[in-house]
Structure 1
């Protein structure tokens, strides 16, 4: 038990002093006897033998009152985790060129599918080198001709896997293109308002969560050829808002990609391949890093490097949660005083 005001116990020193004053001022009661001999012969009655009880009750009441004034408290040790997470926008190219063949764990698929699987490993963990990002705020933006918010920034990571699976290659020529600048600007705008997002999510979660930093991981295999903003204009916005951008160029060689659509096979020329210069400039302007991936292994290695550089900090704070328990002592004080008054006015009442 803990006492918030232990100096109150000094009041106990007054009890002997007050008892002595009361004893000095006490006026004994009187009864009439014809002779002194009759009074002596009568001896002490049970009432006289117990006459000390009211005074004892008062002393006991003062002790309980003193304990109540000292504010007794019981405490339970609590451990609170203060998390400084990272707000991450994953920005992935889903243009037609991302349909180029690539292997994932020995099975042939396409670039986009490999990117999606390694995305999942980075975000959710792979029980190997990637431990996942359970304490980070994650959002996903996919883009081709236009950027789309695939998944808004969220701490509910259980929803990430189906959102990642929902990212598909473009199906028509009208959808195709590579709007790197617009996608980057949208991601930066989402992160610029991350404090509002956190405030909304804290209403249903832990209020000890804060954002340590904001980053964008931008992956593309092409060059900016659509959209209103250039990549460098979008990078300037990110830099202005203190957002670091990691850029990943996947592939790089000229290619021709075939996509099966409801209207037949759609062939997309590789063009000039990935614009590494633009991606390097974006990373440099925002304080991030540029990487190039040729296959699944190199892509996973890149995410491992980013995972090591961007660490979430979790601090555990121990504290004691105290609960006031003075009321029982107050109730006991009132009970003892009431009992004392009752006994003094009835059984132990003095007759002048």
Structure 2
């Protein structure tokens, strides 16, 4: 009996919670709709002729996107404004193609909707011009049933989609939401850094806008690469992530030959114009050899990180166990993209300001601070 009562109370709680959440969501949506209605009714009476003769603008707070619509039929534009504003979009409308192009040059829009058949400038011309002026803007063609073939052809000129008229409020609202989802997915994909796997010598010719990882080598969480040599020793250096983050290395403190290090301890130190970073040993073992040429020319670390810029040769003491903590192949690329995104976030918008080497070391290199003394 007690178990049944507990089950009943649980079901009742879940049901009440669902009803409360649903009610609150509907209340919030109703408030937002009422606020948009008020903005719509007010904005439609405002004068924007100083920007464009036929311009009508409705800007809602926190819009989902900014849309510009151009059509020579005012009734179509009235529908666009009302439907899309109530859906949470800010909407500008004009009746002539040249007006639309002027606005595109002066404002930031996410979408431009253009009618296909207009007297002074047709939709094909608008599509071409908008994509020339603002390639980042998504252009949508408005077409009637008899112009589908031409609308499809506009896709070759850069239009991303077309919508048929007449349309219902639900049809246009759903269409706009799907467009927004596609745009956000595309922008997110474009923001993801391009990372590719290369042979050691090819790192020298990879564009500065791309990142590369060494094929056939392992990478440590502290961004040191490890390549297993035929004799069983391992060659170690810095990866492209460190190379691009630091930019310039003025001096390197090489590891001492014959010294034994543990994974995670400082292996070598890089000095630059704005600070010093310690690179952690990716594996435990004995230092057998170092790249002495880096003392006189540390720039090789930057020019050729996976080839001539190697740092040291180490005989591992527990390779079988410690190798599992390193990455190789496709997982490296996925991890790199996450690390690059994290670095961009840490370094501010557009990489504002010089890189804080101390913070970079703490967040990305993982050297054991107790081993630096």
Report the TM-score, using the length of structure 2 for normalisation.
0.28
TM-score of the two chains, using structure 1 as the length reference: 0.29
Larger Rg: 1
Q: Which has the higher strand share?
A: 1
